[in-house]
Amino acid sequence: MEGVPLEGGNSNAPVRFGDRVHRVAGPWTPTVHAYLRHLRSHGVDLVPEPFGFDEQGREVLAFLPGAVPAYPLPEPVWSDAFLAQAAAVLRRLHDASVGFAPDDAVWQQPVREPVEVIAVNDFAPHNLVLDRDAITGVIDLDQAAPGPRVRDLAHLAYRLVPLTAPGNEDGRPTPIQERGRRLRLLAGAYGDVEPGAIAGAVGPLLDDLAEHAAARGLPDHAALYVGDAVHHRAALDAVLHGVG
């Protein structure tokens, strides 16, 4: 069977063969597969089922049918209902991951304190599979690693509140008061977290993303993250207090 290359996937070079996807693996892949099996055994069937490795050493995962949003994001992804749904899905992933701590774990991302859950570390629209406006899958979990809940919430808020700078076309022009309202909506939909904690984690997250992009030789991406971080820190108090 001839494989069909899939868009996205960055350096993973995903290729679809029927109902399976073959992707470039790393030292962390066995741990991620164990994590996926753990999630699925705890009722989270939104993540792909892993099937080990092919003869070329690539990981093999179940193909999740549906549409993955591309940037600029389509209008339905900006709805309040979608934001609340995404927060609820993230809460399911986090809660199901509690207690997963294999002794021989190898992670692509560093373990970050406080360790509360297995953080996805890239929970964003570009890794969600949709059936119209319903989230039916979560893909590309190979950056997952133990860490705090709020880091994933910060990433989701950055992309979907949004907390981007005006020059970043991946976001959309959003008044300060609306950003504050949507940040509170996200926090409420996830539960047990203050909007200020999420907003406070965005700056450090963007610093990490900028550093990672620069290390990968992506200066334009790094510059966008730096600009977003500067803008976010300047507007943080206004967003939290709904002024402007």
CATH number for position 139: 3.90.1200.10
Alpha carbon separation from 23 to 15, 183, 194, 195 (Å, rounded): 6, 35, 37, 36
Answer whether residue 68 is part of any domain.
Answer: no
Answer whether residue 70 is part of any domain.
Answer: no
Q: Which residue has the tokens 């991406």?
A: 221
- pLDDT at residue 244, as a whole number: 47
**Of 159 and 244, more confident:** 159
At 67-108, the pLDDT tens digits run 999 999 999 999 999 999 999 999 999 999 999 999 999 999
The verdict on 231 and 113 lying in the same domain is: yes
DSSP-derived letter for residue 113 is S
Answer whether residue 35 is part of any domain.
Answer: yes
- pLDDT at residue 8, as a whole number: 65
pLDDT at 162 over 80: yes
What average pLDDT does this structure show over 170-192? 97
The verdict on 108 and 162 lying in the same domain is: yes
At 61-73, the pLDDT tens digits run 999 999 999 999 9
CB 14 within 8 A of CB 25: no
What average pLDDT does this structure show over 100-121? 97
CB 163 within 8 A of CB 157: yes
The verdict on 125 and 214 lying in the same domain is: yes
Answer whether residue 127 is part of any domain.
Answer: yes
Across the chain, mean pLDDT equals 95
The verdict on 113 and 181 lying in the same domain is: yes
The verdict on 173 and 214 lying in the same domain is: yes
The verdict on 94 and 47 lying in the same domain is: no
Binning pLDDT at 50, 70 and 90, where does residue 1 land? Answer: low
- pLDDT at residue 190, as a whole number: 98
Count of domains observed in the chain: 2
Provide the whole-model pTM. Answer: 0.95
The verdict on 118 and 140 lying in the same domain is: yes
Rounded CA-CA distance 78/83 in Å is: 7
At 224-244, the pLDDT tens digits run 999 999 999 999 999 999 764
DSSP-H helix ranges across 53-148 = 80-97
The DSSP string of 139-184 is ---TT-EEE-HHHHHHHHHHHHTT---TT-TTS----HHHHHHHHH
Binning pLDDT at 50, 70 and 90, where does residue 161 land? Answer: very high
Q: Which residue has the tokens 């995962």?
A: 61
Structural domain boundaries enclosing 53: 4-62
Rounded CA-CA distance 172/224 in Å is: 14
The verdict on 55 and 80 lying in the same domain is: no
The verdict on 182 and 225 lying in the same domain is: yes
The verdict on 171 and 94 lying in the same domain is: yes
Helices (runs of H) and strands (runs of E) counted in the chain: 6, 9
- pLDDT at residue 61, as a whole number: 98
Q: Which residue has the tokens 């996926």?
A: 36
